[in-house]
Each structure stands twice: as structure tokens, then as C-alpha cells.
Amino acid sequence: VPNLQGPRYVSPAPNGGFVVSEECGDVKVFTSSRKQLCSLSSKYRHRFGNPAGVCVDVDGSILVADEQRRTVHLFPEHGAPVCLVSRGLRRPAGVACSSFGHLFVADAGENCVKVFKYHMRPR
């Protein structure tokens, strides 16, 4: 995939595509055929500081750690972005989520991994 502006982190998406964070302050979503589907900053009119880790949860929502703003946001397929973590992070880098609704954030500023519960799926 050419023409990325400082690609940083990448994550697979459920549809066979993938998500890439860029140093320039954007996150791009690609299809399985490597065509750009959208830019999160354009689609959601969201301003990133320095997007870092990205992952996609079981519902297809994209989660993004922002090192500069010290936040983690969830971008649903439909609807507005949701700030999941706005306090307690010094330098969020990598993110991962489990099918049990746990969000794992690698905080490079505190040399640890923080675990949050963000979603409860009906059983």
C-alpha cells in the first residue's frame, strides 16, 4: 500500500481489510483489495493529535490510541466517536481488545499495560 504518510500501527479488520495509523495525524481504513475505504479524520470530522495503536473490536468498531491527546477513542461503523479513556494515560501506544469487552492499552509513559472494561456483550 503506497502513499501513506508515516505509517505507524496496523490492525486487521473483520472484513479482510485493515486499519493504519499515520504520523501525520490520521487513521485510514482499507478494503481487502487494498483500496482506501475512508479516513477517520474526514469521515468523523475528528482531529487526532498523534494517533498510535489501532485495533478493531468484534462489532467492527475501530479503536485508536492518541499519544498526544492521551486518549483512546472508539469509532463505530455508524454514529459518532466515543472517548473510552480520557484520563490516566501518559503515553498510550498500542491497543488491543478482547471478545470479552476488555481494552488493553500499552502505556509507554508508565511502562505498563492498563486494562479497561468498555463493552458488555449480551450472552
Q: Render pLDDT for 60-97 as a digit per residue (tens, 0 to 9).
A: 999 999 999 999 999 998 899 999 999 999 999 999 99
In a domain, 37, yes or no: yes
Q: Which CATH number does the domain housing residue 104 bear?
A: 2.120.10.30
Element holding 103 (H helix, E strand): strand 102-107
Q: How far apart are CA 78 and CA 36, in angstroms?
A: 18
Q: How far apart are CA 63 and CA 80, in angstroms?
A: 13
In a domain, 75, yes or no: yes
In a domain, 73, yes or no: yes
Question: What single-letter amino acid sits at 51?
Answer: P
Radius of gyration of the chain (CA): 14
Its domain, for residue 69, covers 7-117
In a domain, 100, yes or no: yes
pTM, two decimals, is 0.93
- Cell numbers linked to 31: 478494503
Say how many CA atoms lie within 13 Å of 92 toward its Cβ: 31
- Per the DSSP assignment, residues forming a β-bridge with 83 are 73
Alpha helix locations (H) across the chain? 40-43
Total structural domains within the chain: 1
Q: Render pLDDT for 1-45 as a digit per residue (tens, 0 to 9).
A: 888 999 999 999 978 999 999 997 899 999 999 999 999 999 999
Q: How far apart are CA 10 and CA 98, in angstroms?
A: 17
